[in-house]
Amino acid sequence: MDFYENRVINDKSKLKKVKIIHTLIWIFFNAVISYMLYAVISNKLDIWLWICYVIILLEILTLSYFKFSCPLTLIARKYSNSKKANFDIYLPNWLAKYNRVIYGSVILSVMIITIIRLLK
């Protein structure tokens, strides 16, 4: 095996690790957002909802710091030149492509419902 083949195998291994970590973090944020949606729909404005808001705020600040690109995407880019939206995560391409729109809409809805609940 020459140097180039060894590097390609090493890059694939590193990319796989980044994809696994990225997917696990995505699952975590799904749990956070799902809880938030549940909490506001069921009018359960408890401490966990506010903790979730802080987590989402930290995610938004992190993304804004990295010019609205996930830091894991930037790391994964070192190991792949793929143009697919899901090159860095184990999601269907369409979901990876529209992830921000989908979850941004859900979070915005949660915020609106929270405000409505607080004003009642």
pLDDT tens-digit series, residues 3-62: 556 666 788 999 999 999 999 999 999 999 999 999 999 999 999 999 999 999 999 999
Q: In the structure encoding, which two tokens stand for residue 103, read together?
A: 């979850």
Is residue 35 within 8 A of residue 46, CB to CB? The reply is no
Rounded Cα gap, residues 31 and 71, in angstroms: 20
Residue 42 DSSP class: T
pLDDT of residue 11: 85
Q: Indicate the domain borders of the chain.
A: 3-119
